Structure 1
Amino acid sequence: MLHQKTIDDLLSIHQIYLEPDVTKYERGREILTKYPHAEHIEVESHWKIPELFGFEGSVDDWLWNKKNVLILGLKKGIVCRPNTRSSHWIAPSQSNGCTMSCSYCYVPRRKGFANPISIFVNIEQIMGHLRRHAERQGTKPEPDETDPEYWVYEIGENGDCSADAAICDNVKDLIGLYRELPNAKLTFATKFVNREMLSYDPQLKTRIRFSLMPHQMSRLVDVRTTPISERIAVMNDFHEAGYEVNVSFAPVIYYDGWLDDWHALFEEMNDVLNEQTKAQLATEIICLTHNDRLHEVNLGWHPKAEEVLWKPEIQQVKYSQTGQRNVRYKNNVKREMVTELVDAVKTQLPYCKIRYAF
């Protein structure tokens, strides 16, 4: 019997940082009522908390902040951004940050040194924008690689929606919204199994993407996440509950024996998934991108992971669209990794469509 990790294993809220207007919103009041014993610390902005954000923060408090701190604020820039891969649009975030602590996560590179969950309480404004945006798009004119029928909106770019859903109903409300929109569906990737979400009745208008990687590597770098076998084990249940269930093979990390471990993972999927789940399965394959500043931070709290994530001899500099200096595998290494993993998927998981691989 698998031990089901719950949100109580991840969160024990002792401090809530909140913007001044949070209590004007019903969602804000609901969350504050849920954690009656937490200390309230009023801040000007969810982005401006010196003891949490900025690389000058204390690395010793990294995991404590993840477990014990919650931030409540208002989403200011409510816009949809075009996307070209797993969705057509990036929706305005209903949250930012995460209680889990994957050592390769890009969000600390953007938001700062520690990134506990920030929940945005003006969910009605966010949903209103999304409804109007979808109405302006009209009927999707033709099938594409992202979806054969609907415009797809990514709602989990900056966090993990399954963990957010254990704090408040933002994600449940969004799933309900897209259930009603005739031309759109939502999507998000997750590394946390939240079985409460089985009751949300998405009616195939929500595509949940379970992030998977070999067990050995996940235990090292997927800190505070649901174990891989538990993620796979719940996929049939989520499909039966009305979700479109996909997977994300990401990040793909090079180490001795990496491909053999992926072969073993694919065999486990073949054994566990039922025919209905297999028939609608699709994946994305994404090789590791790392960051020199995050590498320095990680050395302070999880140096063992950096032994596999930071490999200068096979990595090269890659500047992001926002100008950040990242590193990724050298072209020849990455090309070989992608080719080998794509071939393995086609051979072992012939039912699984590959949406993209890079």
Structure 2
Amino acid sequence: MTGPAATPLLDIRRIYVEPAAATLPRGQAVLARFPAAERIEVASHWRIPALREAEPEDYLKPKREVLVLGVKKGLPFRPNGRSADFIAPSSSNGCAIACAYCYVARRKGHANPITVFANIEEILAATARHAAGLGPKREPNQVDPRDWVYDLGENGDLSVDALISDNVRDLVALFRTLPNAKGSFATKWVNPDLLGYNPQGRTRIRMSLMPAGLAKLLDVRAAPVAERIAALPELHRAGYEVQVNFSPVVLREGWEAEWGALFEQLDDTLPAALKDQLAAEVIMLTHNAALHEVNLAWHPRAEEVLWRPDIQEEKRSESGAVNLRYRSGWKGRWLARFKDLLAARMPYCRVRYAF
């Protein structure tokens, strides 16, 4: 299992540090990992004017060169019911990958580089208490038939975070000890270090996939799709529960042939033991006007396929945000066609949920 060999994903040259984070063991370990980086003290990991005021065109540089080190203040557990039963308090926020459709909040700056939370012990302890309070899962659901599942990486990519600190290793170790709970995260990166974490089936990795040509346009700085697929058998052998995340499904001319080729590549690559337990999420594209404006400044070609008002309509999300989604009625037909294509080539791949 080898990671991408292109331009280094991370070349940390500047670290914005909350003073409290620098006093914690994990914060000190992160600072020691990047001894040559400039350190700038900040009162809050969210309020960093230098990031917020960066030029819109200079989108990728902060993701590669900037790290934020903070303390996670609130530790809520939000019910989910789709990817997981609960969204756990995150051990990070932001991402070094630059997917053009990314919905992650950009409150600390338009590029939203990684923030690592140094108070990992508090996060681990809160998660253990929450799982203990739930007791056994009484009824199976589409998330998991037996265990409560916690999404650990809603705000970033944990395979990338593992390049920076041991937070991810600690989370995987925690779930080995919880008899009624699993951790889960989606990723677009190939990090060989994860193979040594000994998850014992208690952590689910959902590899995000789309057709390779589309990923080259939209999944900027992510691992190539062929490398993500090649990593799946190795992650399974290492003890992870491996699933796939077909996300986002972006509609353009020839989309059926593109996805059919991806399903064929997966079917030819995956071993029987992995196929026997494989499940998928299918998520149709969601976009919005604010992200459209950001992308026009740094990656306008992406908007040729993401911004399609001819086949999209506005819809208010549960959080109150106004998003663009494929038009009602048509979206259902396209989603049904997608699921038919998947079933024809990979009938063993159960669709856990789709929307």
Residues 87 and 3 (structure 1), Cα distance of their counterparts in 2 relative to 1, 3 Å cut: closer
Q: Distance in 2 between matches of 1:261 and 1:344?
A: 11
Shift of 1:111: 5.3
Q: Which amino acid aligns with 1:23?
A: A
Output one character per residue of 1:44-91: Cα deviation in whole Å (capped at 9) or x when no partner.
1011011213xx541122100000000000000111111111110000
- Quote the offset at 1:105 in angstroms: 0.1
5+ long unaligned stretches in structure 1: none
**Aligned residues between the structures:** 355
Check whether the contact 2:100–2:302 (CA below 8 A) recurs between aligned residues. yes
| Residue 213 (str. 1) matches residue 178 (str. 2) | no
Q: Which residue of 2 aligns with 1:284?
A: 281
The CA RMSD measured in Å over matched residues stands at 1.4
Do residues 328 (structure 1) and 297 (structure 2) align? no
Partner of 1:9: 8
Counterpart CA distance in 2 for 1:312 and 1:51 is 34
Secondary structure at 1:312 match in 2: coil
Matched with 1:43 is: 42
4+ runs deviating over 6 angstroms: none
CA distance in 1, matches of 2:12, 2:268: 38
In the alignment, what sits opposite 2:136? 139
User: In structure 2, what residue type is equivalent to 1:228?
Assistant: V
SS of aligned partner of 1:10: coil
Does the CA-based 8 Å contact 2:45-2:108 persist in structure 1?
no
- Compute the displacement of 1:102 (Å): 0.1
1:30 has 2:29 as partner: yes
Q: Distance in 1 between the 2:242 and 2:350 partners?
A: 12
CA shift digits 1:305-338 (9 cap, x unpaired): 0000001111111122222221111113311210
Alpha-carbon distance between aligned partners in 1 of 2:82 and 2:222, rounded to the nearest angstrom: 25
TM-score using structure 1 length: 0.97
Residues 164 and 3 (structure 1 numbering): CA distance in 2 closer, same or farther, change over 3 Å? closer
Report matched runs for 1:59-208 at 5 Å: 59-108=56-105, 112-208=109-205
* 3-state SS of 2:182 partner: strand
| Cα offset, 1:108, TM superposition | 4.0
Equivalent residue letter for 2:193: E
Q: CA deviation at 1:109?
A: 5.1
**Deviation digits for residues 165-186 of structure 1, max 9, x if unmatched?**
1111001000000010011000
* Corresponding residue of 2:253: 256
Q: For residues 320 and 45 of structure 1, what CA distance do their matches in structure 2 show?
A: 28
Are residues 1:242 and 2:239 paired?
yes
1:20 aligns with 19
Q: 1:221, 1:305 within 8 Å by CA — same for their partners in 2? A: yes
Per the alignment, residue 233 of structure 1 pairs with: 230
Structure 1 residue 4 displacement after superposition: 3.2
Which of 299, 303, 307 pairs up with 2:300? 303
Q: Would the aligned equivalents of 1:70 and 1:117 in 2 still touch at CA under 8 Å?
A: yes
Paired AA for residue 71 in structure 2: L
- Please tell me whether the aligned partners of residues 7 and 166 of structure 1 are also in contact (alpha carbons under 8 angstroms): no
Distance in 2, matches of 1:111 and 1:87, equals 26
CA positional deviation for 1:8: 7.2
Report the residue type matching 1:41 in the other structure: I
- SS of equivalent to 1:60: coil
* C-alpha distance in structure 1 between counterparts of 2:51 and 2:122, whole Å: 27
The Cα offsets for residues 252-291 of structure 1, whole Å up to 9 and x where unpaired, read as 0010001110000000001100001111100000000001
Query: Is the 1:208–1:243 Cα contact (8 Å) retained in structure 2?
Result: yes
Is the Cα contact below 8 Å between 2:3 and 2:192 reproduced in 1? Answer: no
**How many Å separate the matches in 1 of 2:56 and 2:289?**
16
Instruction: Write the distance in 2 (CA, Å) between the matches of 1:84 and 1:322.
Output: 16
| Cα distance in 1 for residues equivalent to 2:201 and 2:5 | 25
Q: Give the equivalent residue in structure 2 for 1:52.
A: 51
| Cα distance in 2 between the residues matched to 1:42 and 1:27 | 17
| Cα displacement string for residues 193-229 of structure 1 (whole angstroms, at most 9, x for unaligned residues) | 1011001000000000000000110000000000001
Distance 1:332 1:214 in 2: 24
Alignment partners' CA distance in 2, 1:150 and 1:85 = 14
Residue aligning to 1:317: 314
